[in-house]
Structure 1
């Protein structure tokens, strides 16, 4: 049945429809005006648009412009438009906003089309790339429908503002730098490229770009790790859209759809990257520096390393850092096996009287104990928990293993793990080139380069000999190697000695073979105060150092950082240059916030320093460091000093070359746990090999510029000390003959 309407009725209904449309349009305009004037919440200001707030990772750079790692809340680093593959740009536009180049922030044609699709039950998204960027930068998606409508109006206005202030290239770059790429704390195309394909954004292929862009619409359901089938289907949809928009041919798209996902997944966390111990120390240092130097953002707002996208430039050489980490891993795997075999079948409780106390201390320091305490557990309940097997991951040199173990047994296991640390620096500039603070940052977070200190043992002996050389004593002076007792400083002190070479030795030979009695003799000659003063002048700031005789044998604690820096003064003509690892800090826009200027001290005169390099070379040529020659075939000019503390608790080697000074320490977490024999526990066996393997790698890479065919530079004024003991003895003999003739 057809109802015929009169012209008056048609006119009346048309007027109703137009009134509805006009009212609706007026309502939208009113809402937009209210939104624009901030009645529903403040909109981003012009200043906000110029400096959009977003969590941007701070990046730590090596001296050769490599990224060592990042500090972040959201794992995100920015890239420029030119650093993004065109396939990514094309895939994004084809899938998310095909009219991106044409519109001015809001695509009204698309908006009304989407409204129609949603009315007929086909759910579609209507936001342009610019609108999505506005949401990413300035707000979070509201769950309340009414708030979401208001938020959408705010996005429209913000999108238009963004379009007025930025070019299309800048907008799409900002979008790709802020978008969420999944459940692994991955934000921005740079982090996504590295995480899912282990590559950079400029090297992404069409299918890789399609996969990542496909995740933008639903980073959870299209995650290729958790939902590979969904991700494949979504990728293929993006490839189809790229073909429809003529960014790919149909044939290319069809061929790419058949490819597997080809993931090279590499989940990134704060432990990832090179030099994790160094970066942890650096972060604390930078935070402390900002407070001490009053470095703030506008309005005295402190900088946040995890959010403000700072650029931190360091002296670390990425290649040398890698060589140091490889050298440690290569030798410590072997040494740990020797240590395990050394203790196999022996009762730790019987062999180490303090072992039960060490276990209790270890339990109390553990995160597990602290968590149980906070949960209100009694000591008995905690003890029961530590004796109940639990799933855990253990570190081994062959890789982490998942196992079922009593927590108390895991403490025993970790107590018997050897630790190792290395620092390598340029003695002239003071620039630290490599920093390995421990054996595995994920499992053992304590830095042993600068944060931790250990007894230095015989690596302290050169300080006493340096004072003697400075006072005019010859390295060729001969001394009987017999016990010496020093008085006048409290209780009389007589050092103990193992491996004593009987007879009369030159000071050169005594230092080369680390003889305690002759070192004590030299201390008695020069007195403790000048030795203490020299040690402090050379940058060793341990509170343990005082004017007492035993400092000549290294009874004080010091860090690898301080000791390595001190030895650099021997190489650098007596000038101590503060070990430097931080060069400058820039904000995200490249403005310099801080530049480091190292301290410099003339600790020794240049002739004394040169005499000491000669004596330290004897350690390698004929003394405790000789295995560098016979075992590791390093025949170039190298000096150094081994160190072994009481009961073999600490093994040291500090090696000097004309261009690098490198300190290495090895020991267990607790000094009471150690090798039982000096043959295994001495620094020549526990620390020196790491130095040797590191230097062999460094020398093999000519591009690093560390040369083998150069010797230590003599003083410009020449050397008036006889370093050849054969010539020195002849001079002494001739002098004695002249004296006899004069007397006659």
Structure 2
């Protein structure tokens, strides 16, 4: 019996022995696997430096002067990081309740969760902590093809998670996780996601918005809230997150029940390079930044990447004023375009949208433009097609999406017909600038960048018409010390042939056909009387006017001939606004500035920018010119800004004029401009601290209204200025001036015609033209 018992003890001891051997071997094997993984046998792990500085692409951010993000530059990752302080408490609580309830109790690996996952074979949910998920996002592959590879990947995630916990605080780990996740639809990181899905910053998210975004962590492709994707599934997932918040005490059940009955309330605002706000300005800024990057390397000599390095570009654009400008352009241009289509129906105009051209001339115009098109360039130089093949392709119906004021239209159209279609749309350019600082506050180069990418603020140059006349008047004031109250004959006037640069004899006509009597300079400018302007031009000479325009910042070519007095040169809106701003800025030209500073992703300022300035006119000459231009809105073509609405003009043009009546009562200096055949309509408007220029016209000069009633600057461009300024004045925070233009301390030129007395007598007198040297 003793022998048998001893054998039993020996057998049990053997089992115990083998158990411990196997257990210790398993432990050693696990330790060995973790050790091998930690030294990189199963793949490279991030070192201390990489953990400190994860390699994530950061979009460069365009920031407005009022601190708003206008847009971003990015290739694939539209990511801009936010700090933990800018994450709302509900957002953080929703994440912890849903993804890692014991987040604050573990050191990277949730032992209880891992054990549960092993016992239940993953059926009770995964065991990945937030730290592990961050490790997976940052340093490991998203998907492995085999279970063995996935197992080794999981081990790497555990190791990295533990290292992350040692390297960062819990708050920093949460912040990184929110910043790294891809929420779909170009929403990389929580900042882009909150802006794209709800049109707000992360700190402004409410409970249900936070719950929806946290719900997307499970699978942003599946739980895509867009109406065309999976809004119902996304709402169900949001409600699950709300339930989790109740379960762990972050939300009251009654509040959760109430929120679960509400819709997603999505405010989907996609962010792309061709959509959103200030698209034309952003296109300009792209080229500006490319030049800056070329000349400003990093400390190590490498180049900054506009799309990946997280630069911050601080601009002068005011997001509110930009919005007002874009709204004014859209509202007016839609109505104006509708009237243009009515006047150019095929039964009224066989060569629509062109006027004054024969059928053959239209065909020649289109063939010339074919050779300028991107389609021509690609087929000729990339595909090596013959010209006959290229022309034939323009006659082949092709599926395409075209612009309309009611939204994009999917259609089948010949490319040549689409060219004609797009040429039927009137274009516009608008820029608004603070004259004292040179800061550009709004930039609208068109009304739809996706379909009309040519910028009509700085790229496009068109004949400026009568908006050039103030340069002539300013030259006369500066050189001849003339007053707005001086009177000149309205009669026809001829500048003799050869007097200025061998030009032909020039006798301009007045648009209203009248030539009798005398007019003050103020009235002549207000009513764009060409004959008076010609007299002034003949006295001062084209060279002096050209020199002044160039000092005012006009870089476009201006020939030194008398006819420039009526605005024959092609000049951009950008140049014209900068020039007019000089008058409002007491004769000092400030070069328009759009960028004030550039910093890197760590907010280290790389460069700050100040505008260039130049004294051009005396303060007195600038002020007198401004007072001249005030006459345009007091008794000239700009008086429409002051009328109350019950007039003939409003009745006739109510279909195209938006925002009317404007009823401005404050001092406004400005000038309208209309070119030959009504091809270009301009309005330049100024108050003491804001100068704004607007141009409207067709892509081709043959695209225009039939008559001046619709085709003049007062009908085409002025309404945009009026609506824009009404909105600016309605926002008191902008502090747009309603006051008088500041007069010089010593004013030797009389600007009040009620007190004008050139010969010193007691009553106002009309000066003799000979006394003025005319």
Report the TM-score when normalising by structure 1. 0.89
> Does 1:284 pair with 2:287?
yes
**Superposed counterparts of 1:345-424, under 5 Å:** 345-348=348-351, 351-353=356-358, 354-368=361-375, 374=382, 382-383=390-391, 385-424=393-432
> Does 1:621 pair with 2:626?
no
Deviates more, 1:67-76 or 1:325-334: 67-76
Cα offset for 1:177? 1.5
| Alignment check: 8 A CA contact 1:493 1:549 kept | no
Deviates more, 1:302-311 or 1:448-457: 302-311
Map of 2:136 onto structure 1? 135
| Alignment check: 8 A CA contact 1:638 1:655 kept | yes
> Does 1:309 pair with 2:348?
no
| Alignment check: 8 A CA contact 2:758 2:766 kept | no
In 1, distance between residues paired with 2:166 and 2:544?
Answer: 71
Deviates more, 1:195-204 or 1:277-286: 195-204
In 2, distance between residues paired with 1:60 and 1:383?
Answer: 41
SS in 2 for 1:297: coil
Query: Which of 530, 549, 567 pairs up with 2:562?
Result: 549
Query: Which of 615, 622, 625 pairs up with 1:609?
Result: 622
Map of 2:651 onto structure 1? none
Deviates more, 1:21-30 or 1:641-650: 21-30
Map of 1:711 onto structure 2? 740
Q: What is the root-mean-square deviation in Å for CA atoms of aligned residues?
A: 3.1
Cα offset for 1:545? 2.4
| Alignment check: 8 A CA contact 1:481 1:505 kept | no
Cα offset for 1:521? 2.7
Query: Which of 230, 233, 236 pairs up with 1:227?
Result: 230
Are residues 481 and 43 of structure 1, via their aligned partners in 2, closer, same or farther at CA, if it must alter by over 3 Å? farther
Query: Which of 555, 560, 585 pairs up with 1:572?
Result: 585
In 1, distance between residues paired with 2:9 and 2:678?
Answer: 110
**Alpha-carbon deviations, 1:244-272, whole Å to 9, x = none?**
33334556555555554444434333344
Deviates more, 1:385-394 or 1:571-580: 385-394
Are residues 624 and 94 of structure 1, via their aligned partners in 2, closer, same or farther at CA, if it must alter by over 3 Å? closer
> Does 1:161 pair with 2:163?
yes
**Alpha-carbon deviations, 1:449-471, whole Å to 9, x = none?**
12222222221221122121111
> Does 1:190 pair with 2:219?
no
**Alpha-carbon deviations, 1:7-28, whole Å to 9, x = none?**
5455445544544444443344
Query: Which of 437, 443, 455 pairs up with 2:451?
Result: 443
SS in 2 for 1:611: helix
Map of 1:177 onto structure 2? 179
Are residues 324 and 736 of structure 1, via their aligned partners in 2, closer, same or farther at CA, if it must alter by over 3 Å? closer
| Alignment check: 8 A CA contact 2:487 2:766 kept | no
> Does 1:538 pair with 2:552?
yes
**Superposed counterparts of 1:238-257, under 5 Å:** 238-248=241-251, 253=256, 256-257=259-260
In 2, distance between residues paired with 1:625 and 1:235?
Answer: 56
Map of 2:538 onto structure 1? 524
Map of 1:484 onto structure 2? 495
In 2, distance between residues paired with 1:438 and 1:627?
Answer: 24
In 2, distance between residues paired with 1:651 and 1:414?
Answer: 19
Map of 1:741 onto structure 2? none
SS in 2 for 1:156: helix
In 2, distance between residues paired with 1:286 and 1:661?
Answer: 26
Q: Mind listing any 5+ residue stretches in structure 2 that lack a counterpart?
A: 1-6, 646-661, 769-774
| Alignment check: 8 A CA contact 2:194 2:202 kept | yes
Deviates more, 1:510-519 or 1:689-698: 510-519
In 1, distance between residues paired with 2:636 and 2:542?
Answer: 26
In 1, distance between residues paired with 2:210 and 2:9?
Answer: 59
Deviates more, 1:398-407 or 1:453-462: 398-407
SS in 1 for 2:741: coil
Deviates more, 1:490-499 or 1:668-677: 490-499
Map of 2:126 onto structure 1? 125
Map of 1:102 onto structure 2? 105
> Does 1:662 pair with 2:692?
yes
Are residues 40 and 388 of structure 1, via their aligned partners in 2, closer, same or farther at CA, if it must alter by over 3 Å? same
Cα offset for 1:150? 4.4
Map of 2:725 onto structure 1? 695
**Alpha-carbon deviations, 1:373-414, whole Å to 9, x = none?**
545665555555544444433323333344443333222121
Query: Which of 32, 35, 45 pairs up with 1:33?
Result: 35
Deviates more, 1:710-719 or 1:517-526: 517-526
| Alignment check: 8 A CA contact 1:587 1:593 kept | yes
Are residues 255 and 466 of structure 1, via their aligned partners in 2, closer, same or farther at CA, if it must alter by over 3 Å? closer
SS in 2 for 1:93: helix
| Alignment check: 8 A CA contact 1:210 1:236 kept | yes
In 1, distance between residues paired with 2:68 and 2:136?
Answer: 33
In 1, distance between residues paired with 2:267 and 2:722?
Answer: 35
**Alpha-carbon deviations, 1:38-58, whole Å to 9, x = none?**
455543343333332322233
Q: Mind listing any 5+ residue stretches in structure 1 that lack a counterpart?
A: 739-744
Cα offset for 1:737? 12
Map of 1:452 onto structure 2? 460
**Alpha-carbon deviations, 1:550-581, whole Å to 9, x = none?**
33333222211111011011111101111122
Deviates more, 1:187-196 or 1:605-614: 187-196
Aligned length: 727
Map of 2:55 onto structure 1? 53
SS in 1 for 2:308: coil
Cα offset for 1:166? 1.8
Query: Which of 672, 679, 692 pairs up with 1:642?
Result: 672
Cα offset for 1:227? 3.1
Are residues 147 and 521 of structure 1, via their aligned partners in 2, closer, same or farther at CA, if it must alter by over 3 Å? farther
Deviates more, 1:323-332 or 1:270-279: 270-279
In 1, distance between residues paired with 2:708 and 2:555?
Answer: 29
Map of 2:521 onto structure 1? 507
In 2, distance between residues paired with 1:550 and 1:531?
Answer: 11
In 1, distance between residues paired with 2:765 and 2:469?
Answer: 31
In 1, distance between residues paired with 2:324 and 2:402?
Answer: 25
> Does 1:217 pair with 2:218?
yes
In 2, distance between residues paired with 1:253 and 1:715?
Answer: 66
In 2, distance between residues paired with 1:197 and 1:683?
Answer: 40
In 2, distance between residues paired with 1:298 and 1:159?
Answer: 32
| Alignment check: 8 A CA contact 2:750 2:756 kept | no
Map of 1:742 onto structure 2? none
Cα offset for 1:603? 0.7
Report the TM-score when normalising by structure 2. 0.86
Map of 1:464 onto structure 2? 472
In 2, distance between residues paired with 1:86 and 1:686?
Answer: 51
In 2, distance between residues paired with 1:361 and 1:126?
Answer: 66
Deviates more, 1:545-554 or 1:446-455: 545-554
In 2, distance between residues paired with 1:383 and 1:212?
Answer: 51
Are residues 138 and 517 of structure 1, via their aligned partners in 2, closer, same or farther at CA, if it must alter by over 3 Å? farther
Are residues 565 and 151 of structure 1, via their aligned partners in 2, closer, same or farther at CA, if it must alter by over 3 Å? same
